[in-house]
Structure 1
Amino acid sequence: MIHTLAIAGYRSIRNLVLPLEQLTVVTGRNGTGKSSFYKALRLLADVAQGNVISSLAAEGGLQSTLWAGPEQFSRGMRQGVQAIQGTSRQNPVSLKLGFASDDYGYAIDLGLPIPSASMFNLDPEIKAEAVWAGEMLSRRNAFATRSGPAVTVLDESGRRSTLTSLLAPFDSMMTHAADPRGLPELLLLRERMRAWRFYDHFRTDADAPARVARPGTRTTALSADGSDLAAALQTIREIGDPKGLAQAADDAFPGAELRIEESAGRFELLMRQHGLLRPLKAAELSDGTLRYLLLLAALMTPRPPGLMVLNEPETSLHTDLLPPLARLIGEASKTCQVVVVTHDATLADALHDAGALRHDFTKSLGETVVDAADRPAWTWPER
C-alpha cells in the first residue's frame, strides 16, 4: 500500500506531501487542484511505462505545467501586506513526483534541458531519481539512485557501484536500468506501477464504445474507455464474484438484472428492469445508468491492482446512486488501495463515514493546500 504521496512544482501544487490509506478521498471546490493531483498520479504511472516525457508534452510541455507562483511565500505575502512577487531562486526549476509504500519508495525530479540545437529542446530532462527501502529516502536505504546520466546501485556486497554513466536524459532508470539479477527491486516496483489503474470520465454519449456489441475475450481489467464492458461483466460472473455482482446491481437498481448475450464472438450488455416487458440494450440505457455499470465492472475486477484511482466518478449520477457507489468503492478497497477524487460533498461524506481518509483541498494565494493532521516526513533525491 502507498502510504505517502509527494508532489512539488506541478501546476497549482507547489509542495504537497500527503498520507494515503487503503481508501482515500480527495475533495474540494472547483479549481482547488484536484485535477492536478489526479494528473500527477497519472504522470507517476507514466514513468513506469516510459511515457512521462510525452505525457508532459501533451500537457503543453514542462514550462506549461510548472508551478507559476514564487518559489517561496514570505510572511508579508501571506498576511497580505506585501505584493506577491518573485525573488532570486534558491533551487533549480523542477517538477518532482514521488511515493513511499510499505516496502519501497520512488521519486523523480524533472527539470529544464540545457539549451542546444536539438529540435527536442523543449523536452524536459530527468535530473534525478531514487528507489529506496523504507518510509523515507536516505543514503543508508537507497539501493538505486540516478543523478544526471549516472545510475549508482547497491550491489550484493553492500558496496555502491556505477551501473551506467550514459543514461539518456529522456530515459528513466525505471525502464532502462531494471535488471532481474542486478536490480530485482526496481523491476518489481516498475511492474507494480504499470498495474495501477485509472478511470476518468467514461464516455456515455450515443456513440460511446460501451453501447455497442464488441468482440469479447476474458477481461480481468476494464479498459479506460469502457469498450469491453460486456466482456468485463461476464468475466466477473465466470471467475469473480457473480453473487456480489448481482447484489451490487440490485443495490443501485432494485429489481434489475444484468444479461450478457453472445453472437459470433461479439458480446452485448442488456439490462432487465422491474416493470419492463423486455430488457434494454446498452444503447438504450441512460448516461447515469451506463456510467454506474462501468464503475461496477471496474471496481469488481476479479484481479484487483495495487492501486485504483477514480476521478470524479459521480459525474452524471443521480444523488440516489451515490450511497450505493460509496458502498461499492468501500467494498473494493478491501482488496486494493483506492483513491477517489471528487467535488461531490455527498460522496465524500459517505466515503469518509465508511472509513476513508479525507483530504479537503483549498487554495491559498493560488497554491493548493490541505490540512493534513500529520504531514509525513519526506526527502527528495539530490541532483
Structure 2
Amino acid sequence: MITTIAVKGFRSLRDLVVPLGRVTLVTGANGVGKSSLYRSLELLSGTANGALVPSLARQGGLASVLWAGPEVISKAMRDGEVPVQGKAKRLEPVSLGLGFASDELGYLIDIGLPTPRRTMFTNDPEIKREVVFSGPLMRPASTLARRRRSVVEVRHHRWQQVMEGLPEQFSMLNELADPEQYPELLAVRRQVRGWRFYDAFRTDPAAPARQSQVKTWTPVMAADGSDLVPALQTILESAYAENLGSAVAAAFPGGHVYVEENGTRLDLRFEQHGLLRPLTAEDLSDGTLRFLLLAAALLSPRPPGLLVLNEPETSLHPSMLPALCRMVVEASRRSQVVVVSHSTALAAGLREALGDELEHHELVKDLGETLVAGRGVFDRPLWDWGSR
C-alpha cells in the first residue's frame, strides 16, 4: 500500500506531502487544489509508459504548470507584515517534483526546464533526476537506483553504471525493465502502470459508453468508459456479479442490468420496476449511465493497486450516494482507493462506513499555496527530495 504522495512545484502545490490510507478522501472548496493533486497523480503514473513529458508539453510546457508564487513563503508574508514577493535570484533550480513511497519501495522524479538548444520543441521539459529507494524515505543508504540527466546507475553491492545517453524525455522506469538486472525498477514500473484513474466520463448522446461495443472480455474498463458494456458483462460472469446486482438494486429500487449479444457486439439493457420495456444505453439518464460507469470501475474483477476517482458524485442524485459509498468500501477490500470530492453527503457516508480507517484530508489555500487543513510542516510524513 502506498503510504505517502509528494508533489513539489505543480500549480498551487508548492510542496505538498500527504499520507494515504486504504481509503483516502480529499475534500475542499473550489479552487483549493484538489484537481491539481489528482492531475499530479496522473502525471506520476505516466512515468512508466512514456506519457509524462508529452502530457506536460500538451499543457503548454513546464512553465505553464509550475508554481507561480515566491520560492519561499516566510512567516512574515503569511502574517501580512511584508508583501508577498520573490527574490531577485533563485535559491534552487526550477523544478517539478513528483513522488510516492510505501513500506517497501519509493520513487521520485525531478523535472526541469529544457537545456537551451536549437530546436522548435522548447516546451518539452526534461527529466533531470530519478530515484528508486527502499522503505518510506529516500536516504543515501536506501537508494537502489538513480538517474542524473542521461546517466543511470543501480546498486549491486556497489554502484554500477548501466546506461548512458538516456533521452531526457524518457523515464528510466520505461527504459529499464529486465527482471534479473533491475528488479526494483520493474517492481515500481508495474506498480505505477497498475494505477487507474476515472474522471470525466462523457454522458452526452454521442458518448462512447452509449454505443454498441465489441464483444471481448474486459476485466479493466477504459478511463473514458468506451468499453463499459463488455466490462459489465465481464463482471456479470465473475465472482462480483452479486455485488453489481446489489449496487444497481440499491441505487435504483427494482433495477436490473444485463447485456444482450448482437453478433460480434454487445448492447446494454436496463430494467426497472414500472417500465414496460428495458432501456438501452441511449435511453439512460446521465446519472444512471454515470452510476453504471462507476460500478464497472469499482467492481473490476482485476482490481488495481491504486484506484483514483475524481468527483464521482457528479450527475448522481443524492439517493444514489449510499450505494456509491458501499461500492467504494467494497473496492477498498481489494484496492487502495483515493476519492476527490465536493460532496458533503459522500464524505459523511464514507466517514460513517469506515470510521478511523478513512484518511481524510481537507485542502485549503493560503497565499495561493495548497495546504492540508490543520496540518503543519511537522505534522506531515517525512520526505526528502534530495538535490540535483
Q: TM-score, normalised by structure 1?
A: 0.97
Deviates more, 1:39-48 or 1:273-282: 273-282
- C-alpha deviation, 1:354, in angstroms: 2.3
Runs of 4+ in 1 over 6 A off after TM superposition: none
The CA distance in 2 between the partners of 1:54 and 1:352, in whole Å, is 38
Structure 2: distance between partners of 1:382 and 1:73: 20
Question: CA separation in 1, counterparts of 2:374 and 2:187?
Answer: 30
For 2:211 and 2:151, the matched residues in 1 are separated by: 50
- Note the 1:1-383 alignment, pairs <5 A: 1-87=1-87, 88-155=89-156, 158-355=157-354, 356-371=358-373, 374-383=379-388
* 3-state SS of paired residue (2:250): helix
Q: Write the letter of the residue equivalent to 1:363.
A: K
Listed as ranges, the gaps of 5+ residues in structure 1 are: none
Residue 372 of structure 1: how far off its partner (Å)? 6.1
Q: Deviations over 1:53-86 (max 9, x none)?
A: 1000111110000000001112221011211111
Q: Decide which moves more: 368-377 or 265-274.
A: 368-377
Asked whether the 8 Å contact 1:129–1:381 carries over to 2, the reply is no
Identity %: 52
Mapped partners of 2:132, 2:279: distance in 1: 51
- Partner AA of 1:339 in structure 2: V
| Displacement after TM superposition at 1:122 (Å) | 2.4
> Which runs of no fewer than 5 residues in structure 2 stay unpaired?
none
Question: Aligned partners of 2:50, 2:324: CA distance in 1, in Å?
Answer: 33
* Distance of 1:50 and 1:194 partners within structure 2: 11
Could you say what secondary structure the match of 1:239 adopts? coil
Q: Which SS does the other structure have where 1:67 is aligned?
A: coil
Equivalents in 2 of 1:131, 1:297: separation in Å? 33
* 8 Å Cα contact 1:231-1:267 kept in structure 2: yes
Alpha-carbon distance between aligned partners in 2 of 1:189 and 1:113, rounded to the nearest angstrom: 26
Partner amino acid for 1:318? H
**How many angstroms apart in 2 are the aligned matches of 1:380 and 1:271?**
51
CA distance in 2, matches of 1:55, 1:141: 30
Mean alpha-carbon deviation: is it higher for 164-173 or for 318-327?
Answer: 164-173
Q: What's the CA shift string for 1:274-300, capped at 9, x where partnerless?
A: 111111111111100110011011100
Task: Measure, in 2, the Cα distance between the counterparts of 1:282 and 1:164.
Answer: 51
**SS across alignment from 1:193:** helix
Give yes or no for contact 2:313–2:341 (8 Å, CA) kept in 1. Answer: yes
CA apart distance, 1:381: 3.7
- For residues 57 and 142 of structure 1, what CA distance do their matches in structure 2 show? 30
SS of the residue 2:282 aligns to: helix
CA distance in 1, matches of 2:222, 2:303: 14
Q: Which stretch of the first structure deviates more once superposed, 162-171 or 257-266?
A: 162-171
Between 338-347 and 1-10, report the one with greater CA deviation: 338-347
1:74 and 1:380 map into 2 onto residues whose CA distance is: 20
Distance 1:332 1:74 in 2: 42
Contact 2:60 2:123 in 1 (8 A): no
TM superposition shift of 1:114: 1.7
TM norm structure 2:
0.96
For 2:305, the aligned partner's letter is G
Greater shift, 39-48 or 224-233, is seen at 224-233
Moved more, 66-75 or 166-175: 166-175
Q: Secondary structure at the match of 1:283?
A: coil
Question: Which sits farther off after the overlay, 205-214 or 291-300?
Answer: 205-214
Cα distance in structure 1, aligned partners of 2:239 and 2:130: 38
User: Residue 137 of structure 1: CA displacement?
Assistant: 0.5
Deviations 1:345-372 (A, max 9, x none): 1112222222221100111001101036
2:370 is aligned with what amino acid?
T
1:15 alignment partner, SS class? strand
The CA RMSD over aligned residues, in Å, is 1.2
- CA change 1:128–1:90 in 2 (3 A) is same
- Of 222-231 and 290-299, more deviation after overlay is shown by 222-231
2:291 counterpart SS class: helix
Quote the offset at 1:171 in angstroms. Answer: 1.7
User: How many Å separate the matches in 1 of 2:78 and 2:170?
Assistant: 39
Single out whichever of 159-168 and 46-55 deviates more from structure 2.
Answer: 159-168
Task: State how far apart, in whole Å, the 2-side matches of 1:281 and 1:128 are.
Answer: 51
